Amino acid sequence: IACASVSAMEPDVFVLDEPTSNLDIQAIENLRETLLRWKSRGKTIVIAEHRLYWLTELCDRVVYLQDGQIELDLSMRDFRRFSQKHLQQLGLRTLEPEKFTGRQVSPQPCDTITVQNYRYAYKHSPQPVLDIPLAALPKGGIIAVIGHNGAGKSTFSKCLCGLQKRFKGTCRCKKNVFSRRRMLKQSYLVMQDVNHQLFCESVEEELRLSQTQEDEAVLLQTMTALELLPFKDRHPMSLSGGQKQRVAIACALLAQKEFLIFDEPTSGLDFHHMEQTAALLRSLKGKQTLFLITHDPEFILRCCDFVLHMEHGKITEQYPLDQTGYSKLQQFFI
């Protein structure tokens, strides 16, 4: 919709800021075709982006910024000669689609969480956007929720954490039954647009607001782990998109809820901070149950151990991320 609206104005220059952050593979390809049409009409296109693989056949020139300064200015042909190691040293992501190999399989948690009667329809709509009669998921696991745009992933996350008031489904673990109201108290959701959940005058105040119990050591540890100490006195709204995302992730960790739900948590994150966030989430395995709604295969392969695949409001597949799981995941992303 944004691309169509801007295109109708027929400008000479188009500027796109992280245009693929919430897009699935097909939507990224559709976007690339749109940009190629603009380019064929002689338009100038400037793209600020962390996902790079889809740009290699589209862009002619690469400008690399560091601390507000231009560090590199070169052709895409020269940039494609950079090794993977060199790209990582620059904090950049791969130029090739992710390879789904080489990750050690970790054991699955023993206990399961059962979601039951997860059905939801928007008001005045006859068709449900979510229809999951029953599903068993690993308690204490790190669960990737995948699916194409419009599959019902975000609706699932809002029902899971109790935000949809007309939702009647339940979540069970052993003898514990989590109603919508109880899930509202036991869950924390990091939204796609974190601007909706940042309220305070400084980053430090924002993090303290999220703490269940005041603990200076844990606060300092979390700020250090996500490299937020330099921004602790800054207003959250003055930060970049990736920095805001890290603040929201830190808030979720400090809340110490039983269920953590992250909707596109790597939006705006470069390679270094994506790896850093993945490592931090891996450390929570077995302690809390994490749901990561994402279109980012690099991120999934670095921290997830289970995949929940949704389409048209239903679960089409669910599987552990072992060697067989890699093959299924590759079929979805490649």
Between CA 152 and CA 138 the distance in angstroms is 20
The answer on pLDDT for 109 being more than 70 is no
How far is the first Cα of the chain from the last one, in angstroms, to the nearest whole number? 26
Overall residue count recorded for the chain in this entry? 334
Pick the closest to residue 118 from 315, 276, 333 (CA basis).
Answer: 315
**pLDDT bucket at 279, cuts 50 / 70 / 90:** very high
Is this prediction's pTM over 0.95?
no
Mean pLDDT, the chain, whole residue set: 91
pLDDT of residue 102: 45
Partners of 260 in the β-ladder: 188, 290
Find the mean pLDDT for residues 211-238.
93
The answer on pLDDT for 106 being more than 90 is no
pLDDT of residue 104: 54
**pLDDT bucket at 142, cuts 50 / 70 / 90:** very high
Between CA 98 and CA 179 the distance in angstroms is 39
Cβ neighbours, 10 Å, residue 35:
20
Model confidence pLDDT, tens digit, residues 34-88: 999 999 999 999 999 998 999 999 999 999 999 999 999 999 999 999 998 999 8
What is the DSSP annotation of 28-40? HHHHHHHHHHHHH
Q: Which residues contact 279 (CB under 8 A, 6 or more apart)?
A: 302, 303
The answer on pLDDT for 101 being more than 60 is no
Partners of 66 in the β-ladder: 69
